[in-house]
Amino acid sequence: MVGGEAAAAVEELVSGVRQAADFAEQFRSYSESEKQWKARMEFILRHLPDYRDPPDGGGRLDQLLSLSMVWANHLFLGCSPLGPK
């Protein structure tokens, strides 16, 4: 039954990915194109484990969402802290 165990593990992994994507969907901006959102969602999901809010609060998730917007603005709009290129 190794095949059954592997299939169950894959299903559990897929379910976890779906839940993470559903969680991230709430942070999509109405002005983001599909391409921009997919890139920013990947950024959020990739870094989410490092920015989970601690039980006592702290706003780490807010920091991650802010960083994702800065990253997307830099990537897609060419924004930088030094002004236009």
- pLDDT value, residue 3: 64
- pLDDT digits over 51-84, tens only? 876 666 567 888 999 999 999 999 998 888 776 6
Residue span of the structural domain in which 25 resides = 1-74
Residue 83 covered by a domain = no
Structural domain total, the chain = 1
Residue 81 covered by a domain = no
Pairwise CA distance, residues 72 & 69, whole Å: 5
Helix ranges restricted to H, 1-85: 2-25, 34-47, 60-77
Per-residue pLDDT band for 85 (boundaries 50, 70, 90) equals low
Residue 28 covered by a domain = yes
Residue 79 covered by a domain = no
- pLDDT digits over 7-61, tens only? 776 677 667 677 877 888 888 888 999 999 999 999 998 998 888 766 665 678 8
How high is the mean pLDDT of the chain?
Answer: 81
